[in-house]
């Protein structure tokens, strides 16, 4: 198991100490009762987490679990499908997709830096700004090269050839959707397991980059632009991302490990 920063322990990053204690207690309960089940099913693959899966043989990977024709996993908001026709008009491999899931909240200063960072990149972007967002766009924000929606059909978006990279909060569903489409990941975790996921993507799988925060705890517009440009100029990370996509997707092809695991479960239930 790779070294971990103790400040990243998920129960210390749940927004409220009491919430962290409750989640930790629940996880301890689950772990102590592993022996009560024959298998635990998990949305992952051996290529993504070989160490964990070898350590707990009862975990059967059945991932990636993707929904191409119905709502994205973990969806709470109404999709704006107009973004798909907008993507059709953009050059291949040119668009930044920016989405932080259902719960991430920024303060006004960080929201400003992100908006102005998108300006600085001078690249087309699709930015998901939820309807519950109460923040104001900075006066300098042009947004002329982008499209802003309240929610997007994420799996379809990530599968679109215009998408170049995914600025993500590192929720596991989003990571699985990103990896399954070979999309480069710019990791901006918010809380809980997302901090682990970012480290896993950037330091172990090496298919993503993280953002450094300044002394005020902000990701500055300049750092945002720098990371985006670093991505677009790194052919090695693109190659690794596409190679991992092929391995991950082979798991759910007929005869693949995840396919066989799920088939095994279904047969046992029938029996």
Which token pair is 212? 């450094």
Tell me the average pLDDT of the chain.
Answer: 91
- Per the listing, tokens 């970012």 go with 198
- How far the first Cα of the chain sits from its last, in Å, is 37
Quick one: pLDDT at residue 131? 85
**Whole-model pTM?**
0.90
Q: What is the pLDDT of residue 99?
A: 96
Query: What pLDDT does 94 receive?
Result: 96
Please compute the mean of the pLDDT values over residues 209-225 and round it to a whole number.
Answer: 94
Helices of type H across the chain: 17-32, 50-55, 82-88, 108-121, 154-158, 172-180, 194-199, 221-232, 235-250, 257-270
More confident residue, 39 or 160: 160
CB 192 within 8 A of CB 101: no
What is the pLDDT at residue 75? 57
Q: Is the pLDDT of residue 82 over 90?
A: yes
Q: Which residues contact 268 (CB under 8 A, 6 or more apart)?
A: none
**pLDDT, tens only, 114-152:** 999 999 999 999 999 998 888 999 999 988 899 999 999
pLDDT confidence tier of residue 249, bands split at 50, 70 and 90: very high
Please give the Cα distance from 19 to 21 (Å, whole number). Answer: 5
Residue 1 has pLDDT above 70, yes or no: no
When pLDDT is averaged across residues 9-24 and rounded to a whole number, the result is: 89
Percent of the chain, pLDDT > 70?
A: 96
151-206 tens-digit pLDDT: 999 999 999 999 999 999 999 999 999 999 999 999 999 998 999 999 999 999 99
Bigger pLDDT: 8 or 202?
Answer: 202
Mean pLDDT of 37-60: 91
């Amino acid at each position: 198991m790779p070294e971990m920063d103790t400040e990243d322990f998920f129960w210390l990053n749940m927004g409220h100490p009491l919430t962290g204690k409750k989640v930790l207690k629940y996880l301890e309960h689950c772990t102590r009762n592993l022996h009560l089940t024959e298998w635990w099913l998990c949305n992952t693959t051996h290529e993504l987490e070989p160490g964990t899966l070898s350590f707990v043989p009862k975990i059967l990977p059945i991932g990636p679990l993707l929904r191409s024709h119905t709502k994205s996993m973990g969806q709470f908001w109404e999709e704006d499908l107009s973004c798909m026709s907008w993507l059709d008009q953009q050059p291949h491999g040119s668009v930044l997709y920016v989405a932080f899931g259902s719960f991430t909240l920024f303060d006004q200063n960080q929201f400003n830096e992100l908006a102005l960072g998108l300006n600085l990149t001078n690249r087309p972007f699709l930015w998901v700004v939820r309807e519950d967002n109460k923040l104001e766009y900075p006066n300098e924000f042009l947004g002329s090269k982008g499209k802003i929606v309240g929610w997007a059909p994420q799996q379809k978006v990530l599968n679109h050839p215009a998408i170049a990279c995914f600025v993500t909060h590192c929720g596991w569903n989003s990571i699985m959707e990103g990896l399954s489409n070979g999309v480069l990941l710019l990791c901006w975790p918010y809380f809980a397991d997302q901090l682990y996921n970012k480290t896993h993507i950037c330091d172990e799988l090496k298919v993503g980059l993280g953002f450094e925060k300044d002394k005020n705890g902000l990701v500055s517009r300049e750092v945002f632009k720098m990371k985006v440009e670093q991505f677009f100029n790194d052919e090695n990370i693109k190659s690794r991302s596409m190679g991992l996509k092929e391995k991950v997707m082979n798991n759910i092809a007929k005869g693949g490990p995840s396919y066989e695991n799920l088939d095994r479960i279904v047969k046992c239930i029938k029996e």
